Amino acid sequence: MAQTGRRVDPYRAFNFIVTVIGLKEPVSFTECSGLGSTTEVIDGPRAIGGAGGGSGGLTRLPGKTTFTDITLKWGVTDSTELWDWRQQIVNGKVVRRNGSIVVFDLDNHTEVARWNFVNAWPSKWEGPALSQKGDIAIATLVLAHEGLTSFTTTKV
């Protein structure tokens, strides 16, 4: 809970790391998106005269929860580790990995937020757009996963 009179600034989106358990080389991702979940809404009839004294109408219940794919972008280097992981999927060998998305304070010393994802596997790889402009070659990897197990924040 925020203290009275104390300004609470939102976390900055640029100061983060993504770790994937089982990768030998660290990858400096430039962008991470897709942290989300959606729960289906099921409409059903409300019982008449039930515990809440309902008079009919609809009851809204939670249904199946699905998780948004995580999209990672990074500058292409001589490392082939992410490409190799994706190729395992293409070749029919599903290798699932857990990982975390961690946000740090502005001084890059203190972890302020963390989301852990479970049983992820690369469902899409997209190579960089190449041109004569001199831009950095950015590749994209999309991870399908089975859930975000936690969201934690640390008071700074």
CA-based nearest residue to 99, from 74, 118, 84? 118
**Which pLDDT score is estimated for 15?**
85
pTM (predicted TM-score): 0.81
**Which pLDDT score is estimated for 80?**
93
Strands (E), the chain: 16-20, 29-33, 37-45, 58-67, 70-75, 97-104, 111-126, 138-144, 148-153
Residue-wise pLDDT tens digits, 12-67: 678 888 999 999 877 889 999 999 999 999 998 877 655 555 566 889 999 999 99
Evaluate if residue 107 carries a pLDDT over 80. Answer: no
For the chain, what percent of residues have pLDDT higher than 90? 60
CATH code of the domain occupying 16-34+69-153: 2.30.110.20
**Which pLDDT score is estimated for 2?**
52
**49: alpha, beta or left? (left if phi > 0; alpha if psi -120 to 50):** left
Domain boundaries defined on the chain: 16-34+69-153
Contacts of 130 (CB under 8 A, 6+ apart): 137
Q: Which residue has the higher pLDDT, 68 or 51?
A: 68
Evaluate if residue 156 carries a pLDDT over 50. Answer: no
Residue-wise pLDDT tens digits, 129-144: 998 998 999 999 999 9
Segments in 10-137 forming alpha helices (H): 81-90
Q: Report the distance separating Cα 85 and Cα 137, nearest Å.
A: 19
Q: Report the distance separating Cα 112 and Cα 120, nearest Å.
A: 23
Q: Report the distance separating Cα 70 and Cα 55, nearest Å.
A: 43
The pLDDT mean for the chain works out to 87
3-state secondary structure of 142: strand
Burial zone of 120 (CB within 10 Å; 0-12 exposed, 13-18 middle, 19+ buried): buried
